[in-house]
Amino acid sequence: MPQSGGQILGPVLGLSSFALVGLAQWLVLKRYLRGITWWGWTLATMLGQFLRLVVGIFLTVGLLLFDVVGDLPELIGASATLTLIKVINGFLLGLPLGFAQWIVLRRYLPGAAWWIPAVAMGAALNAIMPLASGLPALLVSNIAGWTVFAEVTGVVLVWLLGKPRKLQQQEIRIRTEQPVT
**Distance between CA atoms of 68 and 74, rounded to whole angstroms?**
14
| pLDDT higher than threshold 90 for residue 47 | yes
24-62 residues labelled b (16+ CB within 10 A) or e (exposed) = ebbeebeeebeebeeeebbbbbbbbbbbbeebeeebeee
Q: Which residues contact 136 (CB under 8 A, 6 or more apart)?
A: none
- Residue 63 domain flag: yes
Q: How many domains does the chain contain in total?
A: 1
- Residue 5 domain flag: no
- Residue 7 domain flag: no
- Residue 16 domain flag: yes
Percent of the chain clearing pLDDT 90 (strictly above): 35
**Any idea how long the chain is?**
181
* In contact, 118 and 152? CB cutoff 8 Å: yes
What would the pLDDT profile of 72-130 be if each residue is shown by its tens digit?
888 888 888 888 888 888 899 899 999 999 999 999 998 999 999 999 999 999 888 87
| pLDDT higher than threshold 70 for residue 137 | yes
The boundaries of the domain holding residue 24 are 12-176
What would the pLDDT profile of 11-23 be if each residue is shown by its tens digit?
777 778 888 888 9
